[in-house]
Amino acid sequence: MQRIDIVVINPWFMTPFLGTAILCVGVCIATVFGVFATAPILIYFGSALYVIGTFGVTIVFNVPRNNTLASVEPAAGSAEEVWRDYVKSWTRWNHVRTAAAILAAGAFAMALIHH
């Protein structure tokens, strides 16, 4: 997991991850000005789910856990305990952000259908 946390910081991951959050904010702003007037609640809901539930959860909960794990020497005596705690809490928050992303995609799909 320590290696994955290093490898994932690349343009192929970061561009869609950050870009989607920025796009959600842009779509909300455009909706305020009437550009997407057919299903504004769905657009706001989908955007909030992604920005808060996916991007926000990653920044507030998963990244700090990744940073803590990165500081652990794998051969250290405490590494196993740190790993157990990491897996339990990181997985819980990963489920939250996965559910938020799925619900956001559903909200955007419904908005497109209404459009």
Identity at 27, one-letter amino acid code:
V
pLDDT tens for residues 69-85? 889 988 888 888 989 99
Q: What is the pTM of this model?
A: 0.85
Instruction: Output the tens digit of pLDDT for each of the chain's 115 residues.
Output: 888 878 888 899 899 999 999 999 999 999 999 887 789 999 999 999 999 999 999 999 999 999 988 899 888 888 889 899 999 999 999 999 999 999 999 999 999 998 7
CA distances from 75 to 62, 66, 86 (A): 23, 17, 16
Domain boundaries, the chain: 2-114
Answer for the pair 90, 58: CB distance below 8 angstroms, yes or no: no
